[in-house]
Amino acid sequence: MTFLPFDQLLPTNYLSACLNNTSATYKYYWLLAILDSIESGTYTISKKNLFAGMITNAWYTVNYFNISFGQFDLIQRAIEEIKDIEGITIDESKDKIFSKLLTSKNLKTNKLLVHFDKQVPHWFLSPWYPGIKNTKEIYDLSQSSFNIPLYRLYKDRIEILDQWIPYLQKHIRLLRDYIYWNLALFLQVRNPNVPDIPNKLIKPVLRSSLLKERKFWDFVFEVNGPQKCIYTGKELFIGQYHVEHFIPYSFVSHNQIWNLIPADKTYNLQKNNKIPRLDKFYNSFFELQNLAVETYRINRPKEKFLQDYFNVGTDISIGLDRKKFFEIINPLVTIASNNGFQYL
């Protein structure tokens, strides 16, 4: 999505220009926080509310998926510090994160939030006031509604202009899509080897069930008997194991069968989103995957899940190749490690 919806009475080109030539993520998350308030029917919005909204909207992308915003990005740095200060889990719900930030009495947390006031609210309006570097002048011009800015800017709040409210309400979904499209492009440049950036910008309401994948592995157990967990060596039986992502879901963001294996329930809960060391676990992982492929090749050659192996360039008609499969797995583990995922 390249352009925002046009309006004859509003300078929508200025709003579009806000996201051009950005060197950090703050403009994307500032506008998302504004849209959150608009959607709730709030048009006079405290700055702290917006700063908390910025952190909340970026929380999952930074903490759960370990996406890099760039070395000097203020939002990423603030999130990493606040996570430790407030003790918020990496995959906490959006509502709880926002509430905790908004009500926090911690001086360090509030200092990190207020720090955005030095750059974000007034520089966001720079397309309306090109060439003006004086912060007070931008405040004054916005308060006079010169050039119909998105909002009037005050010390502790912003006020959405009446002229903009119907436009924002009408096009709020398109506006979100526009922001996320541009944000995905921005982050993909900084994370060139990370898969599926667009699906790592927001926390899904629920992760999809692995019930079908469990049935896939149940059949392997039915044909071959109990199998050993590659992590603990514990013997696994049908109905007494978890289906787990060898490379964390938070990195690959899919449930393809070539990355899923049965594992000890207790260990899987402890593993969380850590990555396995291939020198320790790859051979056992390959043997389990190879057993599954051979089981289905012989007994159910038309099984749909076998297509997942073709998706990563593996020709299972001749079976899994240990070396070629390693050449698929190894770069993913290396990239995940380089992006901050910890080893087991």
Distance CA 167, CA 122 (A): 21
Q: Are residues 180 and 259 in the same domain?
A: no
- Whether 294 is covered by a domain: the verdict is yes
Distance CA 150, CA 160 (A): 6
Q: Are residues 195 and 216 in the same domain?
A: no
The β-bridge relationship of strands 235-236 and 227-228 is antiparallel
What would the pLDDT profile of 276-313 be if each residue is shown by its tens digit?
A: 999 999 999 999 999 999 999 999 999 999 999 887 77
What would the pLDDT profile of 26-85 be if each residue is shown by its tens digit?
A: 999 999 999 999 999 999 999 999 999 999 999 999 998 899 998 888 999 999 999 999
Dihedral sign, Cα of residue 79, residue 80, residue 82, residue 84: positive
The pLDDT of residue 206 is 60
DSSP 41-80: T--EEEHHHHHHHHHHHHHHHHHTS-----TT-HHHHHHH
Which structural domain, as residue segments, surrounds residue 36? Answer: 12-200
More confident position, 22 or 161: 161
**Whole-number Cα distances in Å, 55 to 25, 44, 277:** 11, 19, 32
| Percent of residues, the chain, with pLDDT higher than 90 | 77
Distance CA 205, CA 29 (A): 20
Q: Are residues 190 and 236 in the same domain?
A: no
Q: Which of 20-24, 43-47, 87-91, 93-97 has the lowest mean pLDDT?
A: 20-24
- Whether 6 is covered by a domain: the verdict is no
Distance CA 215, CA 303 (A): 12
- Whether 205 is covered by a domain: the verdict is no
Dihedral sign, Cα of residue 239, residue 243, residue 219, residue 226: negative
Distance CA 110, CA 2 (A): 36
Q: Are residues 187 and 221 in the same domain?
A: no
- Using DSSP, state whether 234 is helix, strand or coil: coil
- Mean predicted lDDT score pLDDT of the chain: 93
- Using DSSP, state whether 132 is helix, strand or coil: coil
DSSP 244-270: EESS-HHHH-S--GGGEEEE-HHHHHH
Q: Are residues 159 and 64 in the same domain?
A: yes
- Whether 206 is covered by a domain: the verdict is no
Indicate the number of domains in the chain: 2
Residue 275 bridge partners (DSSP): 343
Q: Are residues 308 and 230 in the same domain?
A: yes
Q: Are residues 79 and 176 in the same domain?
A: yes
- Whether 5 is covered by a domain: the verdict is no
Q: Are residues 47 and 153 in the same domain?
A: yes
What is the rounded end-to-end Cα distance, in angstroms, of the chain?
40
- Whether 170 is covered by a domain: the verdict is yes
Alpha helices in the chain (DSSP H): 12-17, 26-39, 47-63, 74-86, 94-103, 107-114, 120-123, 135-143, 165-170, 172-190, 211-224, 249-252, 265-271, 278-299, 307-311, 322-338
Q: Are residues 113 and 24 in the same domain?
A: yes
Scan for tokens 């978890």, then name that residue: 242
- Span 238-242, average pLDDT: 94
- Using DSSP, state whether 113 is helix, strand or coil: helix
What would the pLDDT profile of 169-209 be if each residue is shown by its tens digit?
A: 999 999 999 999 999 999 999 998 888 899 899 887 666 78
Q: Helix axis angle, 26-39 relative to 74-86, nearest 10°?
A: 60
Among 200, 226, 251, the domain boundary falls at 200
Token reading at 42 = 């709030």
Q: How many CA atoms lie within 13 A of 285 on its CB side?
A: 24
- Whether 312 is covered by a domain: the verdict is yes
- Whether 273 is covered by a domain: the verdict is yes
Q: Are residues 190 and 241 in the same domain?
A: no
